[in-house]
Chains A and B, each alone.
Chain A
Amino acid sequence: MNETTGTPGPDRVASAEQIGLSAREAAAIPPPEAARLAPRAAPPRDVASWARKIDRLEVDPREGVRGTNVAGRRLTGPVQGFGKMWQKTYRMNAGPDITPEQAIATWREHFPEFWPKGNRFAGALTGINPGDVALLDLAIGGGVKLSTGVFVLYADAESFTLMTPQGHMFAGWITFSAERSGDATMVQAQVLMRANDPLYEVSMVVAGHRKEDKFWTATLTALGQRLGVADPAVEVRSTCVDSRRQWRHTSNIWHNSMVRSVLQTLTFRRGVNAQPSG
């Protein structure tokens, strides 16, 4: 117990009035000292879980990925996307023996290891932390990798959220979470998204949604196996939250990372072929 203030906790600071200073004495204290002594509202407990505000993404080169189409891009949420808005939920029963905190800690620490083969997630070595930018190379067929990235928007002991940049297949965020439901822990990935531009919207309808379902089902299955689940079963639920397309965001196509990745691959191959042999 703090004797001066009568409140528990060593960090609680007493106001000038509480420690018996007159108004004139308090006014005479230099401003920084006065500010230190003044009572302050405690910051919300989620402060450390949120990334700090940024305007554009900055990235460091990472080994094993091309790392293009991310630096200088802005983040995009469902408000900035073009296509229909979808909420897609992938849910798995992780059994009674694992706690939500254990499941999320494992997921945050080993996130790239659960990705399906052929896709690369190059994040910070320390795992998933608010404000991190990860670079992605995603297999899209024909030997082409789609280079893009994600930003860690939020992370706490029971959930974390990734947000996408301009040019990504979709504008939105993916929240990974775990919670106790009855005797078991349920683990889920939930995507709230709109395709970023008209080209992606068509791609999503043709094959993108199916590919995405396969991707996250495989990821959750791999996580389940790591958590010791004998036969992981993933339930998939898709809901169209808004069937309207946002035509005012058609120009997002300028940033399309799929188109840019194809051009970057062709440019790279032409450069390799143009080099004199021998």
Chain B
Amino acid sequence: MSTPAISMDVRRVGEKTAVVDIKGEVTAACEPVLMSAYEAAGGSATSRLVLNFGGLEYMNSGGIGMLVTLLVRANRQHQQLAAYGLSEHYREIFELTRLDEAITIYDSEESALNGAVR
């Protein structure tokens, strides 16, 4: 398997929220990177995990599958998943795959952190 061209940096915002800044290419190959980021985000201590897709350059269907796996882990811990920074193209992919019904999409980091309705 090729080395994933991706970086995922974790920022804690308050006690119960973490933001993952995703930069690069989201494919099935980057599952270990995403799961490491998930662990770094605090595991079960975090109640809200916000994915920042502002640096997303490429995503294939394997990447979408990987996000479903992350969603299952988050649901198991009763954590909410949110996303922002998606371009129109990637927002449409979330809608097409109906992933947006489980990962709420916001227009900005501020609204994603507050959980405001977009």
Interface of A toward B, CB cutoff 8 Å = 43-47, 49-54, 74-80, 85, 87, 153-154, 156, 159-161, 163, 173, 175, 177, 179, 181, 190, 192, 241-242
B62 touches A44 (CB 8 A): no
Interface of B toward A, CB cutoff 8 Å = 1-2, 56-62, 64-65, 68-69, 71-72, 75-76, 87, 89-90, 92-93, 95-99, 101-102
The 4 closest A-B pairs by CB, nearest first: A161-B61, A154-B61, A53-B92, A242-B72
A159 touches B61 (CB 8 A): yes
Residues of B within 8 A of A51 (CB): 96
A44 touches B57 (CB 8 A): yes
How distant is the Cα of A49 from the Cα of B89 in the complex, in angstroms? 12
Which of A46, A54, A80, A85 contacts B96, CB < 8 Å? A54
The minimal Cβ–Cβ distance linking A24 to chain B, given in whole angstroms, is: 32
The A contact surface, by secondary structure, is strand
How distant is the Cα of A69 from the Cα of B98 in the complex, in angstroms? 20
How distant is the Cα of A54 from the Cα of B76 in the complex, in angstroms? 30
A80 touches B101 (CB 8 A): yes
Q: A153-B96, A153-B97 are in contact. Are A46 and B68 (CB under 8 A)?
A: no
Which of A80, A161, A181 contacts B98, CB < 8 Å? A80
Residues of B within 8 A of A177 (CB): 62
Residues of B within 8 A of A53 (CB): 92-93, 95-96
Could you list 6 examples of A-B contacts with CB < 8 Å?
A44-B57, A50-B93, A79-B68, A79-B71, A160-B61, A173-B97
The minimal Cβ–Cβ distance linking B81 to chain A, given in whole angstroms, is: 11
How distant is the Cα of A47 from the Cα of B89 in the complex, in angstroms? 7
B99 touches A46 (CB 8 A): no
The minimal Cβ–Cβ distance linking A248 to chain B, given in whole angstroms, is: 12
Which of B60, B72, B102 contacts A156, CB < 8 Å? B60
The minimal Cβ–Cβ distance linking A170 to chain B, given in whole angstroms, is: 13
How distant is the Cα of A220 from the Cα of B98 in the complex, in angstroms? 29
How distant is the Cα of A77 from the Cα of B97 in the complex, in angstroms? 6
The minimal Cβ–Cβ distance linking B100 to chain A, given in whole angstroms, is: 9
A175-B62, A179-B2 given; 19 more Cβ-contact pairs under 8 Å: A44-B90, A46-B60, A50-B96, A53-B95, A74-B98, A75-B96, A79-B68, A80-B101, A85-B72, A87-B69, A153-B96, A173-B61, A173-B65, A179-B1, A181-B1, A241-B69, A241-B72, A242-B72, A242-B76
Residues of A within 8 A of B90 (CB): 44
- Chain B residue at smallest Cβ distance from A180: B2
Which of B60, B61, B92, B99 contacts A79, CB < 8 Å? B99
Residues of A within 8 A of B102 (CB): 79
- Chain A residue at smallest Cβ distance from B27: A159
Residues of A within 8 A of B57 (CB): 44
A77 touches B99 (CB 8 A): yes
Residues of B within 8 A of A44 (CB): 56-59, 87, 89-90
